[in-house]
Amino acid sequence: MTTPTVHGTDRLELGEGIRWTDGRAVLTDILSGRLLSAPDDPAASLGLIARLPFPLGAVAPVEGRPGRWIAAAGTGICRIDDAGRVEWIARPEDGAPVPMRMNDGVADPHGRFWAGSMAYEATEDAGSLYRVDRDGRVTRVLRDITVPNGPAFTADGTVMYLADSARGIIRRYPVDPDTGDLGEPGLFVTLGSGSPDGMTADAEGGLWTAVWGTGQVHRYHPDGTLDRVVELAAVQPAGLCLGGPDGRTLLVTSARIGLPEPGPLDGAVFAARVDIPGAPAASYRPVGTADATIFADTR
């Protein structure tokens, strides 16, 4: 693979949720509520797609509705239309015992959307994982997570990886492709240092994860053994994806938040060429009532 280079001139506070979709990379700066697009020219600045008045963790495109997104944002799940307007689907973390926000989220290969929540102060076991089915129903599927990141899915959607970053672990769950129900988890990997953050799977079933606090990205074989380590010039890698026209560009976001003396590349987006491709971000595929109401064209 090539040495990572800086992609874009911006430095983000908490850059995460990067996804390759519709021929471009989109990402979030969580606490500023911004949805951004990465430039084709690596010497240009990021483009603003939408700005929300609350934190924005991650988005997935909505199939058949260009410019529309389903998002993990604020205290729940919302839609964002092509004018940046928001409509709530559910706010399950309203009224929680401690202040909460949504964090990472992704669509699976079967068209569902999954998103995790966490406490602003990373209160132990305060977080949850939610699933939005194609009919718009929102279900809390896991509790007692401190800082959920991912999830990431294998290409056939039958395996889900979920990090609990505060504990330094990634768990692996079997997924029923018809219902989205999760089976019993197994421990996939425990990191000796740093925290697993954003994740993605590649075409060979390998799992890539940004490792917060170490300046590294790891790739693991499907059996959990470490395959490679990518060094970055930023302490807090946060989100990643595999994109580009051939799926072989590793794109990594990073963060400046919490660093007493951020370096010049903390908060940058990085790009490197790799030999094993990934797939574009999966879309949320609403059906029935969800398609007719939540994602209807309201213009």
Structural domains of the chain, with CATH = 5-294 (2.120.10.30)
Please provide the average confidence, as pLDDT, over all residues in the chain: 96
pTM: 0.96
Residue 297: pLDDT band (50, 70, 90) is low
| Spatial separation of the C-alpha atoms in residues 102 and 116, rounded to whole Å | 6
Query: Mean per-residue pLDDT for 280-294?
Result: 87
Catalytic annotation, residues: 197
Query: Mean per-residue pLDDT for 96-106?
Result: 97
Q: Given this model, what pLDDT does residue 210 score?
A: 98
